[in-house]
Amino acid sequence: MPLAPDTLRAWAEVDLGQLERNLANIRAALPPHLRYVAVIKADAYGHGSTSVATRLMRARADLFAVANIDEAAALREIGSGWPILILSAVLPSERTEVFAHNLTPTVSSAEEVRAFAEEAHARGRVLGVHLKIDTGMGRLGVWHGEAAALASDILSRKSLRLEGVYTHFACADSDAAVTAEQRDRFLRCLDEADLARKSGLIIHADNSAGIDTFPRSGLFNGARVGLLQFGVRPYAGSLLANVAVEPVFSFHTRIALVKSLPAGTSVSYGHTHTLRRPSRLAILAAGYADGIPTRMSNRGRVLIHGYECPVVGRVTMDQTLVDITDLPQPAAPGDTATFIGTQGGASLRVEDFAAAADQIPWETFCSISKRVRRVYRIDSAL
């Protein structure tokens, strides 16, 4: 039975049972003591954070990580017990919200440590924090040469509790040597700060791509999993090929109109495509306002009746033209057109969409707009 009502013009199907299986399979590939930090920033990579978080809670994620206070506050509404780590730097004006929603901030500087310590002290609270160390990304985190000093600053504050230490890899998907160097710097910091044996500390460095080189023994006891839990490998040829994850997300629209046009007709804005033969075109009910970027003009592909059909002409705000001349069976208004997903034996992956759109898969997920209704397959994982 189709999941989406036939009145929807563009929708994404999110398979929550598959999400749960992915989490279980990722966990199975990692050491048993590992703390699973589910990264669900940006509306759970466009999958819808409420449904995704609820299912991940059931699947026993240990911690959640989001980008900012708004995302964290929405998540706090769903589950009061779960630790929520804020990955971005908290703005000075947002600090009180950290206390109001019982969140765990990331700290990278002495100013943040002092401000959070004073705020916590004034409220008679002890605030848990994660210290982020910059081991070569050059973005958030205290520079690794200064990390030990900042760690002891945190440990000396009675109103702060150091709950985690982490770093982020700049090239986990492309350069194993740089990643190894970052891992070494990070471990050296833990040693210098005498944190290696501190109990109860979550020590995490790996994102999806990092998990490829996750050391099975040693100090790391957490991983921050984003893309991989949605069934998408961070890069082709990832060692994670042997982790059995499958895509959770598919993206569909419908044919709104079918028409035949003579050879030589120029179509779409700017007459960006000229038909070389008498053609049948399908006008799809989605365009760049739905997240099909104009970069896919004359480049994208879509599945109709299980066949790949090319996008022709420029993608417009609300419609996209595709050439369906070669379909063996005539297509009709209302038929489904799949940009990401499977039809019969054919499939187009988010990686294919991203390549045609000059995007990375993370960006594609974030770009599929609110106009695209998310519908959830809620079958159990078993």
Among 130, 157, 224, 252, binds ligand PLP (CB under 6 A): 224
User: How many CB atoms lie under 10 A from the CB of residue 98?
Assistant: 21
Q: Which token pair is 203?
A: 């020590």
Does the active-site annotation cover 370? no
The nearest distance, CB 191 to ligand PLP, in angstroms, is: 22
Angle (CA) 96 64 111, round 5°: 40
Q: Which is nearer to ligand PLP, 83 or 234 (CB)?
A: 234
Residues 157 and 117: beta-carbon distance below 8 Å? yes
Give 129's Cβ-side CA count (13 Å radius): 35
Q: Which is nearer to ligand PLP, 352 or 363 (CB)?
A: 363
Write out the binding residues for ligand PLP, residues 164-193 only, by CB under 6 A: 168
Radius of gyration in angstroms for the set of CA atoms belonging to the chain, rounded to a whole number: 24
Q: CA 279, CA 265: separation in Å to the nearest integer?
A: 9
Does the active-site annotation cover 269? yes
- Residue facing ligand PLP at closest CB distance: 226
Residue range at the interface with ligand PLP (CB under 6 A); choices 113-121, 204-212, 321-329, 370-378: 204-212
Q: CA 292, CA 26: separation in Å to the nearest integer?
A: 30
Where helices occur in the chain by DSSP H, the ranges are 16-29, 41-45, 49-58, 69-78, 95-100, 110-122, 147-155, 176-192, 350-357, 361-367
Q: CA 105, CA 96: separation in Å to the nearest integer?
A: 11
- Please tell me whether residue 222 binds ligand PLP under the rule CB under 6 A: no
Write out the binding residues for ligand PLP, residues 63-102 only, by CB under 6 A: 87
Among 8, 19, 39, 357, binds ligand PLP (CB under 6 A): 39
The nearest distance, CB 251 to ligand PLP, in angstroms, is: 18
Among 61, 225, 303, 354, binds ligand PLP (CB under 6 A): 225
Among 18, 135, 208, 343, binds ligand PLP (CB under 6 A): 208
Among 190, 193, 227, 255, binds ligand PLP (CB under 6 A): 227
Residues at the interface with ligand PLP (CB under 6 A): 39, 41, 87, 168, 207-209, 224-228, 234
Active site residues: 41, 269
